[in-house]
């Protein structure tokens, strides 16, 4: 545990000093301000526009930051040979990966919390937003970001190319939002085997449509049990990606 | 335990959680294949694929407002059909986010009650679909009933129904302006004045405040003049003033 905490601490400190992270946070505040202006076009729906644009900006920036930081996370240390120094210490590879991932997710989570606080303040001008539902959907966005970071880590280790890992992360991100479409196509299919395979695949692929904050909020907020299932889903999916990352990482020889 | 055993177990847990979530709250969003075919369909599909359906619906809503103000050059009306694409553009918002209730209400108001548009069949079509997609919204049914009274020529009951929705924060400001104009057309200037004053007093109806101020001055002057009733011949505003 202490080992993981040590890796987590140095990863978090590294990211907090990272210029890309800081500029993303500043950019997020700028986007929120832009949303404030753009929402004026929505007339009676100004509050809704402000809420949607702010949540979308927060999530998009968190997602980009998480993928960008995670893809560089281990590959850069391999390239700069810094990994030799770390692995000569009594650090198991899974502990190293878990600590690195947790540190990155925590750094992105802090940025999301900052942007969320700024967003909530801005929303006060339009009658405010209920705090608990807001925190719930922000939590979903965070869970989605954490899954995406785990997936990007797995891809970076498996593909060993930053560009390819980023491209595939984008592919999986879009695929993740297609899960309901896959189930829709399965329903339309007349063939039972095709339908079974498609439904199975839609549940095996990351299903980001469930972790999309605004869509969870629309039409009434789900009950707490649903939220618990959503967080369990995200935790299990991230764990699967981290376990596979460990498998790939353990096969690497330094 | 090998890492890949752990990965398989975690994936199984994730799949079970996914199935349980689907059972508790089935996905209710329209499929991408149902998105309205407009010149903006590609953008709508890209945003929806990126998990930004709500934002896509917001942009579509802004474009609907721009269209009504005559500021959307990508969409052209067919000759002789004013605000020809209201149904299409309202449906576009609804299919991106079925819980964006104001868009179908706004579209139905224009289609059903704007004098120069007057396409009640399209209004009914829009409201029917809205009820199917979001049955929890009572205003859809209320507007549909009001539309039925309008088609039956029972204006008194239609106005009474619309009056019931007046203070509902979800009612579009445009519908309130339409109601005020209905009173004016029915030869009830005092009621029309009162309605415009209620619009002006409501900060949610800011988009109609400019018109409300003008109408209040006009109606007060006419009421002071007394006796003469130009109401039934007065033209009915058919669109927002262009900006």
Token code pair at residue A112: 């999301």
CB contact A96 to B (< 8 Å): no
Would you call B10 and A53 a contact, using CB atoms and an 8 Å cutoff? Answer: no
Half-sphere exposure of A41 (CA within 13 A, CB side): 18
Reported ipTM exceeds the 0.95 cut = no
| CB-CB under 8 Å, A42 with B61 | yes
User: Which SS3 state, helix, strand or coil, does residue B123 take?
Assistant: helix
A120-148: average pLDDT: 87
Q: Which residue is closest to B171 within chain A, CA to CA?
A: A44
Q: Which residues contact A232 (CB under 8 A, 6 or more apart)?
A: B13, B17
Residues contacting A216, CB < 8 A, separation 6+: A136, A137, A140, A210, A222, A230
Q: Tell me the per-residue pLDDT of B12-21, one tens digit each, with 9 for 90 and over.
A: 999 899 889 8
Q: Is the pLDDT of residue A111 over 90?
A: no
% of chain A beyond a pLDDT of 90: 26
Which tokens sit at A46?
Answer: 């100004």
| Mean confidence (pLDDT) of chain B | 86
Kindly determine whether residue A208 and residue B19, on different chains, have CB atoms separated by under 8 Å.
Answer: no
What's the pLDDT tens digit per position in B55-112? 999 999 999 999 998 888 888 888 888 888 999 999 999 999 988 999 999 999 999 9
Q: Using CA atoms, how far apart are residues B104 and B68, in angstroms rounded to an integer?
A: 14
Which residues of A, range 10-69, sit inside 8 Å of B by Cβ?
41-45, 48-49, 52-53, 55-56, 59
**Residue A178 C-alpha, separation from nearest chain B C-alpha, in angstroms:** 7
Q: What is the pLDDT of residue A145?
A: 94
CB spacing of B50 vs A173 below 8 angstroms: yes
Strands (E), B103-148: none
Mean pLDDT of A155-159: 91
Question: Whole-angstrom Cα distance, residue B70 to residue B116?
Answer: 15
Return the beta strands (E) in chain B as ranges: none
Mean pLDDT, residues B143-156: 88
Chain A residues within 8 A of B61 when measuring between CB atoms: 42, 45, 49
Taking CA–CA distances from A144, the nearest residue in chain B reads B51
CA angle A183, A188, A194 (to 5 degrees): 70
- pTM, two decimal places: 0.84
Please, is B203 exposed, middle or buried when counting C-beta atoms within 10 Å of its C-beta (0-12, 13-18, 19+)?
A: exposed
Q: Distance between CA A83 and CA A219 in Å, rounded?
A: 49
Interchain pair A45, B19: CB under 8 A: no
**CA A62/CA A106 separation, integer angstroms:** 11
A165 touches chain B (CB under 8 A): no
**pLDDT given for residue B237 in this prediction:** 44
CA distance B109 to chain A (A): 15
Q: Where would I find the H helices in A191-223? A: 192-204, 213-217
């Amino acid at each position: 545990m202490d080992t993981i905490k040590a890796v987590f601490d140095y990863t978090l400190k590294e990211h907090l000093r990272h210029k890309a992270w800081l500029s993303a946070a500043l950019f997020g505040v700028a986007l929120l301000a832009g949303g404030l202006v753009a929402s004026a076009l929505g007339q009676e729906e100004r509050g809704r526009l402000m809420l949607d644009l702010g949540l979308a900006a927060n999530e998009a920036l968190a997602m980009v930051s998480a993928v960008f930081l995670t893809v560089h996370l281990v590959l850069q240390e391999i390239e700069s040979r810094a990994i030799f120094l770390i692995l000569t210490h009594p650090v198991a590879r899974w502990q190293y990966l878990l600590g690195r991932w947790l540190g990155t997710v925590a750094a992105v989570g802090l940025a999301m919390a900052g942007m969320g606080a700024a967003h909530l303040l801005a929303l006060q001008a339009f009658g405010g937003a209920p705090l608990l539902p807001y925190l719930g959907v922000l939590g979903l966005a965070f869970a989605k970001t954490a899954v995406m970071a785990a997936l990007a880590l797995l891809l970076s280790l498996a593909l060993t190319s930053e560009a390819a890992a980023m491209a595939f992360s984008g592919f999986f991100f879009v695929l993740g939002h297609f899960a309901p479409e896959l189930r829709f196509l399965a329903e339309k299919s007349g063939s039972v085997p095709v339908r079974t395979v498609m439904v199975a695949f839609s549940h095996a692929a990351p299903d980001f449509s469930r972790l999309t904050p605004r869509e969870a909020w629309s039409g009434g907020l789900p009950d707490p049990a649903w939220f618990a299932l959503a967080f369990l889903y995200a935790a299990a999916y991230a764990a699967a990606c981290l376990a596979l990352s460990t498998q790939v990482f353990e096969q690497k020889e330094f | 335990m090998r890492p890949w055993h752990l990965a398989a177990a975690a994936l199984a847990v994730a799949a079970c959680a996914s199935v349980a979530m689907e059972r508790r709250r089935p996905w209710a969003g329209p499929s991408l294949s149902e998105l309205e075919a407009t010149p903006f369909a590609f953008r709508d599909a890209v945003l929806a694929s990126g998990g930004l359906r709500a934002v896509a619906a917001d942009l579509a809503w802004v474009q609907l407002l721009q269209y009504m103000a005559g500021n959307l050059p990508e969409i052209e009306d067919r000759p002789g059909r004013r605000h020809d694409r209201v149904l299409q553009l309202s449906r576009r918002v609804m299919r991106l986010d079925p819980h964006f209730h104001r868009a179908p209400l706004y579209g139905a108001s224009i289609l059903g009650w704007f004098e120069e548009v007057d396409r009640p069949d399209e209004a009914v079509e829009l409201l029917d679909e809205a009820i199917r997609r979001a049955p929890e919204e009572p205003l859809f049914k209320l507007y549909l009933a009001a539309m039925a009274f309008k088609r039956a020529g029972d204006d008194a009951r239609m106005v009474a129904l619309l009056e019931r929705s007046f203070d509902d924060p979800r009612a579009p400001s445009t519908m309130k302006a339409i109601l005020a104009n209905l009173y004016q057309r029915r030869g009830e200037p005092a009621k029309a004045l009162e309605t415009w004053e209620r619009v002006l007093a409501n900060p949610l109806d800011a988009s109609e405040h400019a018109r409300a101020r003008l109408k209040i001055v006009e109606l007060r002057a006419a009421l002071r003049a007394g006796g003469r009733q130009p109401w039934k011949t007065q033209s009915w505003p058919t669109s927002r003033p262009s900006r």
